[in-house]
Structure 1
Amino acid sequence: MPDRPSATDGEERLVGADRVLSVLVELAGLSHGASLDEMVQRTRSPKATVHRALASLRRAGLAKQDARGHYILGDEFLRLAFAHHEARPEHIRVRPILDRLSERFSETIHFAVLDGYDVVYREKVDPTSGAVRLSSTIGGRNPAHSTGVGKALLATRLHSLADVEAWIGDRTLEQRTPRTATSAPELHRRLAETRERGFAVDDQENEAGINCVAVPLYLASPSEPSGAVSVSAVAYRTPLADLIGAIDQIHDIIREGTS
């Protein structure tokens, strides 16, 4: 009769699974792929371990090798990712709103959610023509405190200076540009302004030369936002004042899309 697996066996299998996942996550960040040696360096794991992990991913269709012998994400991974993304209820409801905003303003439109200290972009629509496309990507992250979508969402949660201080904790807020709020009092002031006017602004606070306005989006609850929508533009072409001046139109398009 075969021996029953011990707790140690289970722990080894768990560690092995973790290593496969770490290789997958690392590979997902390399759009041009990587050689086996490069993956060994990036994951800081033994070569044999990385090779076995990549072999497992290849068998599952989650990774493959290109003509250079570099490992890249497999078609099955992309199929699963896009199928999941397209099937999300928020995608089905949000995308028409973003399309209308992009058509109206000929600028880049984002939908993002709050994830800890960051925002994650769940959807993005670029203008079809006539504007510079921004480098943001679906699934990409940025610090919440420096972005319009982040401040639009934080403003609904952090109502006092004590709330802001507790959220920051012992971290140092990253200064993305000279205009980024890097202290609790300054961030608290900006969140209070966001609540007062009903929308957030990013005045080149996350990336020099890029500004935006953002509003929380309420899909499932009148009090808990599902995420936030922003209209982002290159500052020299579309000044922040122009975006602010169009905020009523932005609200109208969102209201029509959620009613």
Structure 2
Amino acid sequence: MDMVGGSAAPGQADDGDRLVGSDRVLAVLKELARHPDGVTLDELTRAIGSPKPTVHRALRSLRRAGLASQDARGHYLLGDEFLRMAFAHHEARPEHVRILPVLEALAERFGETTHYAVLDGREVVYRAKVDPPTGAARLTSTIGGRNPAHATGVGKLLLAHQLTTRDAVDAWVGDGLLERRTAHTVGTAAELHAALELIRARGYALDEEENEAGVGCLALPVYALSPSVPSGALSVSALTYRTPLPTLIDAVDEVRAVLGPLGSAGGSAA
């Protein structure tokens, strides 16, 4: 039984600052994940805070299971079996399935429709949709449906992460004007660039009746597949007579809280 003094080491159990048995094996596994280029036994020992023989025994258990391996330099890495299991699990749980409980919670909270959408060229595609549990008037959007990216909150949010310079916006817009779905839709490269800069500053996007009259939207990024690049965007889309856009803006921190790690760069739960 190994005693670890001071603050908890990475992956360490919290009860009594002790790291024993399966806790130690799991701590070693988690530490390996922090070193994609490999880590030495001495480095693992220091990080885990357990004696070298016990860390070595944990590594042997992980290697027998295929969850750890050792390269020609003697460095330890995550094993192929661990990667196989992780990717198999990931493919069985596509991101729109993982975001569904969040959509359901927000649809119930606001009594409005929630979406998860991804960017596909110049359009957004809706991968998931949850209608409010009550309320006669609902949006006509459908799963698999498309809308122009520049005319939607989710689309502009994702474009803001992709088109980070004026030159990039100009190239994306091209020689012509953008389709104005309503009188509020951005129609030029200059207007789109200004909108994307504002989105980056705020951390969220709005659809101020730009795609459909009478419908407003608050959109936030979702990091379901990568810790740095949004896999898609979540929106709360509201009939403005029922839920004015300022109401959604005032609740942006609440929406972020419901999203949890999926809404934060670096916090992907993939």
TM-score bucket (shorter structure)? 0.5 to 0.7
Equivalent positions of 1:219-238 (< 5 A) are 219-238=224-243
Q: Distance in 1 between matches of 2:103 and 2:261?
A: 12
Summarize the Cα distance change of 1:130–1:194 in structure 2 as closer, same or farther, 3 Å threshold: same
Q: Distance in 2 between matches of 1:101 and 1:139?
A: 21
Other-structure match for 1:254: 259
3-state SS, counterpart of residue 150 of structure 1: helix
3-state SS, counterpart of residue 156 of structure 1: helix
Whether 2:218 is the aligned partner of 1:187: answer no
Q: Distance in 2 between matches of 1:151 and 1:198?
A: 12
Could you tell me which of 141, 146, 156 is aligned with 1:141?
Answer: 146
Q: Distance in 2 between matches of 1:131 and 1:94?
A: 25
Could you tell me which of 196, 203, 209 is aligned with 1:198?
Answer: 203
Equivalent positions of 1:87-102 (< 5 A) are 89-102=94-107
Equivalent positions of 1:119-198 (< 5 A) are 119-130=124-135, 132-198=137-203
| Conserved? CA contact 2:95–2:225, under 8 Å | no
Summarize the Cα distance change of 1:217–1:131 in structure 2 as closer, same or farther, 3 Å threshold: farther
Q: Distance in 2 between matches of 1:180 and 1:94?
A: 28
| Conserved? CA contact 1:98–1:124, under 8 Å | yes
Deviation at 1:248, TM superposition (A): 0.4
Q: Distance in 1 between matches of 2:214 and 2:149?
A: 18
| Conserved? CA contact 1:164–1:188, under 8 Å | yes
Whether 2:124 is the aligned partner of 1:116: answer no
| Conserved? CA contact 1:217–1:226, under 8 Å | yes
Q: Distance in 2 between matches of 1:171 and 1:139?
A: 27
Structure number with bigger Rg? 2
Could you report, residue by residue, the CA deviation over 1:7-28 in whole angstroms, capped at 9, with x for unpaired residues? xxxxxxxxxxxxxxxxxxxxxx
Could you report, residue by residue, the CA deviation over 1:89-116 in whole angstroms, capped at 9, with x for unpaired residues? 1132111111111111111000000000
| Conserved? CA contact 1:107–1:131, under 8 Å | no
The runs of 5 or more residues in structure 2 that have no matched partner are 1-90, 263-267
Identity, % of aligned positions: 58
Deviating above 3 A after TM superposition, structure 1's stretches of 4 or more consecutive aligned residues are 256-259
Whether 2:219 is the aligned partner of 1:214: answer yes
Could you report, residue by residue, the CA deviation over 1:2-50 in whole angstroms, capped at 9, with x for unpaired residues? xxxxxxxxxxxxxxxxxxxxxxxxxxxxxxxxxxxxxxxxxxxxxxxxx
Q: Distance in 2 between matches of 1:178 and 1:202?
A: 12
TM-score (norm 2): 0.62
Q: Distance in 2 between matches of 1:108 and 1:240?
A: 13
Aligned partner of 2:194: which letter?
Answer: R
Give the paired residue count: 174
3-state SS, counterpart of residue 155 of structure 1: helix
Q: Distance in 2 between matches of 1:112 and 1:225?
A: 11
Could you report, residue by residue, the CA deviation over 1:187-239 in whole angstroms, capped at 9, with x for unpaired residues? 10011000001000000001000001001100121211110000000111111
Q: Distance in 1 between matches of 2:261 and 2:200?
A: 22
Could you report, residue by residue, the CA deviation over 1:126-161 in whole angstroms, capped at 9, with x for unpaired residues? 001125210000000000001000011000011111
3-state SS, counterpart of residue 137 of structure 1: coil
Other-structure match for 2:112: 107
| Conserved? CA contact 2:96–2:116, under 8 Å | no
